Amino acid sequence: MAKKIFIGILILCGIGLVIFIGYIIMIASAFGAFDKDYSVSDLKDNFEKNKTAIYELKRYFNEIVPQNRFVEIEFTDDNTLGRFGIKALDSTAGDPNGPMFLEWDLKINTERMDSIIKPMGWTRETFKTLKEKLENGNCIQIESGEPAKIGFQRSGIGMYSFNVFDKPMPDSLRVNYNDSCTYILVNDRLVLEYGGGAFGNQCFYNMK
């Protein structure tokens, strides 16, 4: 009898251990523990391969975003925005002014979304065109402004991005954009960036 109880306890412990390990793996996967880490060379290669499409993406986005707005947008798929933010800007300084609308996992083809984008003069077709231009540059995210920050790929909650300047950046900005950690200065019109999110590695994992 005691032997059967002992075996039963071992079985229950084994089941519990399997469930615990599965839970840990599930959590790790959700936070991107098994996602690919991209190297500096990966970003450089993608930019060179898709340079024309990326500059066209930047031109189009800054053209459709009203001058008094900052907009950031990230696509999950054709009908879902993983992240969508809109903020009013000071008309003279271009600085953020007031609260920012920011939501995650927004469906595009909804009446609510229609009401959100109507003041900017956007339609559902705007999202379709923007998604196509992002795909042409092999990218998933973009933030308006100068430079425009264009998201290349995510690794977990971290984001690899291009900071794209239309004109050579002034010398005063070079120090800010060349810390060999978060920022990698490629040339005076392109800076690579890695944002690690709230936790985890905050620098490029592979600098080559």
Beta bridge partners of 148: 164
Binning pLDDT at 50, 70 and 90, where does residue 175 land? confident
Domain ranges of the chain: 37-195
CB 158 within 8 A of CB 194: yes
Residue with more model confidence, 133 or 175:
133
Separation CA 36–CA 186 (nearest Å): 22
Average pLDDT over residues 60-87: 95
Separation CA 17–CA 139 (nearest Å): 40
Q: How confident is the model at residue 11, as a pLDDT?
A: 67
Q: How confident is the model at residue 91, as a pLDDT?
A: 56
With a threshold of 0.85, does the pTM exceed it? no
Residue with more model confidence, 18 or 3:
3
Is the pLDDT at 34 greater than 60, yes or no? no
Q: How confident is the model at residue 198, as a pLDDT?
A: 57
Q: How confident is the model at residue 96, as a pLDDT?
A: 54
Is the pLDDT at 22 greater than 60, yes or no? no
Sheet of strand 80-89, all strands in order from the earlier edge strand to the far edge: 96-107, 80-89, 69-77, 141-143, 148-155, 158-164, 190-195, 183-187
Q: 94-134: per-residue pLDDT in tens? A: 455 567 899 999 999 999 999 999 999 999 999 999 999 99
Contacts of 197 (CB under 8 A, 6+ apart): 156, 157, 158, 159
For a pLDDT cut of 70, what percent of the chain falls above it? 75
Block residue for tokens 């990326």: 54
Residue with more model confidence, 59 or 25:
59
User: 10 Å Cβ neighbour count for 125?
Assistant: 8
Average pLDDT over residues 19-48: 63
